[in-house]
């Protein structure tokens, strides 16, 4: 799965789950639903479309509150993270690779045409684009994050 696809899936998955991020423990209680989920939602469709992975996750029936999901995840993280302004922190909140190499790969996925050596500019661009992609894929973000 692409980096962008991982970001979108992680946020929309958490937003669609009404339980806390530790859904593995809460899924043990509803025994009938737990066996159905792996059988009805195979992982195969997402990897088969690497170029359109951002649109691969099914759009939620109601917009996912990206702010609430990421703020909740950030609150449980061992570092103090500013995901609203930093692509590195946003990736860390989702437990995704935030290395320069990963961000350069994300920049390629999003067709960044700027200088990859100017990491400050690239990082700001990446953050704006990721937020825009989240909105396109069913995410609801505060107005101050829409650029």
Can you give the pLDDT at residue 51? Answer: 45
Query: Which residue blocks in 1-147 are alpha helix, DSSP H?
Result: 3-16, 23-26, 33-40, 66-75, 87-93, 100-109, 119-136
Alpha-carbon Rg for the chain, nearest whole angstrom, is 16
pLDDT along the chain (147 residues), means of 10: 93 65 38 39 42 47 90 95 97 97 97 97 98 94 85
Can you give the pLDDT at residue 62? Answer: 79
Can you give the pLDDT at residue 9? Answer: 93
pTM of the full structure: 0.69
Parse the chain into domains and list their residue ranges: 3-145
82-117 residue pLDDT tens? 999 999 999 999 999 999 999 999 999 999 999 999
């Amino acid at each position: 799965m692409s980096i962008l696809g991982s970001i979108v899936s992680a946020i929309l998955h958490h937003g669609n789950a009404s339980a806390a991020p530790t859904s593995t423990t809460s899924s043990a209680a509803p025994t009938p639903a737990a066996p159905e989920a792996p059988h009805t939602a195979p992982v195969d469709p997402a990897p088969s479309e690497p170029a359109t992975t951002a649109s691969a996750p099914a759009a939620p029936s109601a917009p996912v509150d990206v702010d609430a999901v990421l703020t909740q995840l950030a609150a449980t993280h061992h570092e103090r993270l500013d995901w609203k302004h930093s692509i590195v922190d946003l990736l860390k909140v989702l437990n995704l690779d935030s290395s320069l190499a990963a961000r350069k790969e994300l920049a390629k996925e999003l067709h960044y045409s700027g200088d990859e050596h100017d990491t400050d500019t690239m990082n700001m661009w990446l953050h704006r684009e990721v937020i825009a992609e989240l909105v396109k894929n069913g995410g609801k973000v505060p107005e101050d994050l829409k650029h």
